[in-house]
Amino acid sequence: MTQNPDTQHAQTPSLPAQYLPGEVEQRRYERWVAGGYFRADAHSDKPPFTIVLPPPNVTGSLHVGHALDHTVQDALVRRKRMQGYEALWLPGMDHAGIATQNVVERQLAAQGLSRHDLGRERFIERVWRWKEESGGAILGQMRRLGDSVDWDRERFTMDPGLSRAVQTIFKRLYDDGLIYRAERIINWCPRCLTALSDIEVEHSDDDGELVSIRYGEGENSIVVATTRAETMLGDTAVAVHPDDDRYRHLIGTEVELPLTDRRIPIVADEHVDPEFGTGAVKVTPAHDPNDFEIGQRHHLPSLVVMDERGVITVPGPFEGLDRFEARPAIVAALREQGRIVAEKRPYVHSVGHCSRCKTTIEPRLSLQWFVKTGPLARAAGDAVRDGRVRIEPPEMAKRYFAWVDNMHDWCISRQLWWGHRIPVWYGPEDEVVCVGPGEEPPSGEGWRQDEDVLDTWFSSALWPFSTLGWPERTADLAKFYPTSVLVTGYDILFFWVARMMMFGLYAMDGRQPFDVVALHGIVRDQHGKKMSKSLGNVVDPLDWIERFGADATRFTLARGANPGQDVPVSEEWCQGSRNFCNKLWNATRFALMNGAHVDGDLPAVDELPTIDRWILSRLQQVTAEVDEHFEAFEFAKVCDALYHFAWDDVCDWYLELSKPVLAAGGRAGEIRRRVLGHVLDRLLRLLHPVLPFVTDELWTALTGGETVMIAAWPTAAHELRDEAAESEVAMLQRVVTEIRRFRADQGLRPAQRVAARLDGLADAGIGEHESLIRALARLDEGGADFRASATLAVAGGVAVALDTRGAIDVAAERARLEKDLAAVEKELAQARAKLANPAFVEKAPEPVVAKVRERLANAEADLARITAALEALPA
RNA sequence: GGGCGCGUAGCUCAGUGGGAGAGCACUCGCCUUACAAGCGAGGGGUCGCAGGUUCGAAACCUGCCGCGCCCACCA
């Protein structure tokens, strides 16, 4: 790193030349917490703005996806707080039943232990210890990210209060007939040894083989096709379509089931597709959901042929074999009997896997608890349909409807230990008593509580109101429900959002849990690939925070966050964000060194020079854009607008244009100091939601205020919009850029002073800025002795001539002019063609036509100017 | 099988009816006293393909090709 020691000196700036996030972030966060700025007051008069944090699982630490989620929420909350809302961001964590239990079981396994070695009570104690450890790590990460959550209201899904909420709603649903217990086919994980809900099953296309097996003998035999030969031991029928002529004569007869001593009926069922396979289906009601339905319709018995680990239990040669060992063994045995008619391999079909451990799901007949989703799901769909709840982006609503409108009953019992125990007691005479909170469970001989716990999403579904104190009628609930925005990834739309809707509407008497669902995408790597340990492209947010700062990390994520779209990130982009923070740092540092300050009102507009009116006008425009984009959850656009305003307008132009007047001092200098202070003040406020740390550090240094956190959010002042100033500065910028390009083309080094005369500035309306133009383009006053000239292209048909005293590189200049000429001629041809088209002139809106006319005029003027310049070039 | 989305510069993405953009990367020149984590200038795209609508299409419609995701009781 080259650094001129002389530049480090003199003014003894109070701020170092580089932004060093580490120390600043820690100090700032402690002050925010100590100042109580994160605390929300349920009794204030301010309008509420509420976000409940989607509770992270206590399974480890936060990943970069959480960092995105938190950044978005923090930005929303910080802005609303500045806007004067009573802003509550409520933090907490999820006990994450099966996921957490698996983590702890893996830890035990490493010591050669299983949960059964410890027993239920000691195992749960062990999980609680892990929860403290993991939870503590997560809280630390949230602080590092800068989350402005109300720590006094932190919740955990297994807190006593939230557990009461679980019991309360369970009891209420049970009494309303919306929770029931039944023997059904459920998704069973033979490794986790628990039932799973439909959405905890991931389907993938796996290779299998479809074998055709002849059941029965001779004329009355029938051939069935299956991918799961091992389940044939549990077959209790063969089904064919009632209209299938091939099999009509067999309906009502029985066939011998091979490898067993049983005979099974052939039944007719509409469900069978005559086109598929042989058109005859083996029916195994205990091991296939469709077959179960067929079995119900035809009163078939259900034979369970496997235990909970997927091991065959039918006495005989296959007993004790795992289901995947049994399959080839049974096929081999059948082949020996000459019963395998055809095999098709590989046959790709969809197979369900446990979302936690990837084990192949075994559909299994078992007695479980269910939520009857029909009425709840209908209400959840209607709330979105009638506009009470808005889903952003709206396209995602389609997915939501597709799901809530086709929802099966929800299996909520889990054969786990970590979670909310099902509040149901069974009596000695098979009595069933659902026990509400505060009620005494039945006691006495033979009574026992259900061993199972609830699906972890059952308690998550209560999160927007259980965290506010429900079922008590708390001040929090009155003030902060419904919550304002739910921010989460589209990947848990079904898992969580739909279920919060169902339970929220049910428990809160039809009041929705949130007004808006703002969905973001998944964080991916710089090539759009999903992050995974095996690809080695996982980003640890703490790593980035350490190296680039929390603000840079947040900015990188927010900058990629288009609604509902995945967010690609990379280390280089985070570096870029860090650089942006540093840019802000140095801009403010420059301003402070030059005496910029914030006090009182701005000078009257008519007293302001063009340059100030221009930057103030741009500021209003950006303020309006930022507000618009915030309201639309367009965080990428919020970041983009502020990035370009800060870097391009403020740093590259406004500060550069200000250097002469700041150096000169006087009244003009004083005005500039105040406007500069004002612009930075507002810019830092606008950036604060996304970049909380660096903006607070700079804003307090600039203004002497307490914290930018509670500074008022800027509103756009339309009276400060000034199109004349904007176009004047645009012209100035074009002239400066043209001269710089000429210099670059001519190989004139920046340090090389060039004496030159500028003509045409007054015609371009920027005559008063000549000295500024000279300063930015590094041109000295020219003498009379010009030997070469270059004429610069400028909009509006105005040419500004620049004559240099020294000889120029004629070839280079000619080449450039010829290139410009070609471009202008093309432009000219296009504009002429358009205007020559009567249909265009007639039908196109007037402003469009006017614009083309203007383009034509400009092009004509440019053509003349360039031609003249070419002719003026020495041969 | 059903549904959704995407295809724009080397990479990642904005742009939804009127002169092709940004960040990063790249080339050239610079320590020009806020910032080399910087400054200035520049190169680079028949907007997936083919039709259609329109005075005008990257944008709207249809089809095709390619990619991704979600859902599903495909024996």
Please tell me which residue, A125 or A806, carries the higher pLDDT value: A125
Backbone torsions φ then ψ of A685, nearest 5 degrees: -65, -45
Would the pLDDT of A760 be above 90?
no
Confidence (pLDDT) at A14: 67
User: How confident is the model over A174-207, as pLDDT tens digits?
Assistant: 999 999 999 889 999 998 889 988 888 888 887 7
Q: If we measure between CA atoms, which residue out of A685, A684, A661, A682 comes closest to residue A673?
A: A661
A526 CB neighbours strand B below 7 A: yes
Residue A55 CB-half CA count within 13 A: 30
- Measured CA A829 to C1' B55 distance, in angstroms: 17
Confidence (pLDDT) at A712: 96
A737 CB neighbours strand B below 7 A: yes
For residues A139 and A151, give the distance between their C-alpha atoms in angstroms, rounded to a whole number.
Answer: 10
CB neighbours of A670 closer than 8 A, spacing ≥ 6?
A: none
- Measured CA A778 to C1' B32 distance, in angstroms: 9
For residues A539 and A838, give the distance between their C-alpha atoms in angstroms, rounded to a whole number.
Answer: 59
CB < 7 A to strand B: residues 119-178, chain A: none
Residue located via tokens 């790193």: A1
Q: If we measure between CA atoms, which residue out of A25, A39, A24, A19 comes closest to residue A140?
A: A25
Mean pLDDT of chain A: 88
Confidence (pLDDT) at A787: 37
Q: If we measure between CA atoms, which residue out of A559, A569, A556 comes closest to residue A523?
A: A569
CB < 7 A to strand B: residues 780-799, chain A: none
Choice among A276-290, A541-555, A781-795 with the minimum mean pLDDT = A781-795
Would the pLDDT of A861 be above 60?
yes
Would the pLDDT of A170 be above 60?
yes
Top-ranked range on mean pLDDT: pick from A260-264, A352-356, A466-470: A466-470
Q: If we measure between CA atoms, which residue out of A801, A548, A592 comes closest to residue A694?
A: A548
A350 CB neighbours strand B below 7 A: yes
Q: Smallest CA–C1' separation from A493: which nucleotide?
A: B70
Confidence (pLDDT) at A801: 65
| CA A761 distance to own-chain centroid | 50
Using the 8-state DSSP alphabet, how is residue A185 labeled? Answer: E
Confidence (pLDDT) at A744: 86
Q: Smallest CA–C1' separation from A841: which nucleotide?
A: B55
Task: Categorize the per-residue pLDDT at A344 as very low, low, confident or very high, splitting at 50, 70 and 90.
Answer: low
For residues A407-425, give the mean pLDDT.
Answer: 92
For residues A488 and A449, give the distance between their C-alpha atoms in angstroms, rounded to a whole number.
Answer: 36
CB < 7 A to strand B: residues 256-315, chain A: 271-274, 276-282, 288-290, 293
Would the pLDDT of A10 be above 60?
no
Would the pLDDT of A2 be above 70?
no
A710 CB neighbours strand B below 7 A: no
For residues A131 and A137, give the distance between their C-alpha atoms in angstroms, rounded to a whole number.
Answer: 10
Please tell me which residue, A425 or A859, carries the higher pLDDT value: A425
Would the pLDDT of A795 be above 80?
no
CB neighbours of A698 closer than 8 A, spacing ≥ 6?
A: A584, A585, A588, A680, A684
DSSP reduced 3-state for A324: helix
User: How confident is the model over A130-144, as pLDDT tens digits?
Assistant: 999 999 999 999 999
∠ Cα A224 A228 A229 (to 5°): 65
For residues A820-840, give the mean pLDDT.
Answer: 88
* ipTM of this complex: 0.94
A560 CB neighbours strand B below 7 A: yes
Confidence (pLDDT) at A1: 36
Confidence (pLDDT) at A55: 94
Confidence (pLDDT) at A708: 95
Confidence (pLDDT) at A805: 55
Structural tokens at position A231: 């389940």
Q: Smallest CA–C1' separation from A522: which nucleotide?
A: B69
Please tell me which residue, A169 or A535, carries the higher pLDDT value: A169
For residues A700 and A15, give the distance between their C-alpha atoms in angstroms, rounded to a whole number.
Answer: 12
Please tell me which residue, A566 or A161, carries the higher pLDDT value: A161
Q: Smallest CA–C1' separation from A348: which nucleotide?
A: B74
Contact between A525 and A571 under an 8 Å Cβ cutoff? The reply is no
Helix axes A610-631, A64-82, angle to 10 degrees: 120
User: How confident is the model over A670-683, as pLDDT tens digits?
Assistant: 999 999 999 999 99
* Closest residue (Cα, C1') to B12: A526
Looking at strand B, which nucleotides approach a protein CB closer than 7 A?
A: 2-5, 11-14, 18-19, 22-25, 28-42, 54-56, 69-75
Would the pLDDT of A809 be above 60?
yes
For residues A632-656, give the mean pLDDT.
Answer: 94
- Parallel/antiparallel/unpaired status of strands A523-524 and A194-196: unpaired
Query: Quick count: other Cβ atoms within 10 Å of Cβ A94?
Result: 23
Would the pLDDT of A472 be above 60?
yes
For residues A576 and A580, give the distance between their C-alpha atoms in angstroms, rounded to a whole number.
Answer: 6
CB < 7 A to strand B: residues 96-115, chain A: none
Task: Categorize the per-residue pLDDT at A463 as very low, low, confident or very high, splitting at 50, 70 and 90.
Answer: very high
Structural tokens at position A55: 């509770």
CB neighbours of A817 closer than 8 A, spacing ≥ 6?
A: A866, A869, A870, A873
For residues A540-568, give the mean pLDDT.
Answer: 91
Task: Categorize the per-residue pLDDT at A802 as very low, low, confident or very high, splitting at 50, 70 and 90.
Answer: low
pTM recorded for the entire structure: 0.91
User: How confident is the model over A21-79, as pLDDT tens digits?
Assistant: 998 999 999 999 999 999 999 999 999 999 999 999 988 888 899 999 999 999 999 99
Q: Smallest CA–C1' separation from A637: which nucleotide?
A: B14
For residues A346-356, give the mean pLDDT.
Answer: 81
Confidence (pLDDT) at A241: 87
Would the pLDDT of A343 be above 80?
no
Would the pLDDT of A218 be above 90?
no
A641 CB neighbours strand B below 7 A: no
